[in-house]
């Protein structure tokens, strides 16, 4: 990263948003959170890529990114699917907040939730113990469910010790991918005392 920063400082005379975003992404992707925040703060012009990079690094580091998301909206930068994925990922244990942002995508920003965003909401529902609602979401989402969807529910059953939900989720995961051993392992861990 030092070499990239030296190149940025000394060799790039016309520092456009793309060069700033490259430096920001470099810091973010290499775990330099404070340098990423500093770079973001010094950017003369921020675009959606800039905001999304910082939203993602906050989410990956378990930091609250809602203030950042709100600041992006105040600056007039409309969010995209990546913005919402970071917000949903960053609040994976807060069902009310996650659901509010998930529905806001459609109602306020006219964005269709992606499979990844459905997966985020599914994980939140399951982690919060709403297994029936998680199963209903899997069955009603406009995407074909895969074994990862069911494994998300099954993994959450380990914390809640919900035997019936764990058997249903394992059965669905096996039905989709009968050669995957993950449902067996996760099911065994949900049944441990």
Q: How many CB atoms lie within 10 A of CB 74?
A: 8
* Residue 142: alpha-carbon gap to chain centroid: 19
Q: What is the DSSP letter of 162?
A: -
49-72 mean pLDDT: 93
When comparing pLDDT for 164 and 4, which is higher? 164
Residue 35 has pLDDT above 50, yes or no: yes
The answer to whether residue 97 scores a pLDDT higher than 50 is: yes
Q: Which residues contact 90 (CB under 8 A, 6 or more apart)?
A: 55, 58, 59, 62, 63, 64, 65, 66
Task: Tell me the average pLDDT across 102-122.
Answer: 95
The pTM for the full model equals: 0.82
Mean pLDDT score, 162-178: 89
Question: What is residue 96's predicted lDDT score, i.e. its pLDDT?
Answer: 95
**Contacts with 125 (C-beta within 8 Å, 6 or more apart), sequence order:** 95, 131, 133, 134, 137
What is the reported pLDDT for 158?
Answer: 77
Q: Are 137 and 118 in contact (CB under 8 A)?
A: yes
Angle, CA of 65, 86 and 111, to the nearest 5°: 115
């Amino acid at each position: 990263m030092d070499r990239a920063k030296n190149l940025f400082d000394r060799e790039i005379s016309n520092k456009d948003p793309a060069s700033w975003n490259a430096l920001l992404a470099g810091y973010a992707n290499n775990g330099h959170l404070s340098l990423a925040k500093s770079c973001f703060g010094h950017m003369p012009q921020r675009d959606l890529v800039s905001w999304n990079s910082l939203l993602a690094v906050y989410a990956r580091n378990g930091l609250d990114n809602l203030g950042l998301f709100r600041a992006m909206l105040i600056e007039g930068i409309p969010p995209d699917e990546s913005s919402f994925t970071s917000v949903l990922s960053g609040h994976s244990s807060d069902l009310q907040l996650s659901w509010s942002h998930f529905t806001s995508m459609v109602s306020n920003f006219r964005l269709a939730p992606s499979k990844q965003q459905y997966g985020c909401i599914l994980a939140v529902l399951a982690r919060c113990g709403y297994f029936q609602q998680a199963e209903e979401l899997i069955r009603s989402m406009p995407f074909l469910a895969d074994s990862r969807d069911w494994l998300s529910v099954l993994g959450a059953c380990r914390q809640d010790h919900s035997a019936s939900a764990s058997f249903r989720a394992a059965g669905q995961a096996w039905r989709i991918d009968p050669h995957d051993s993950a449902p067996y392992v996760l099911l065994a861990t949900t049944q441990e005392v």
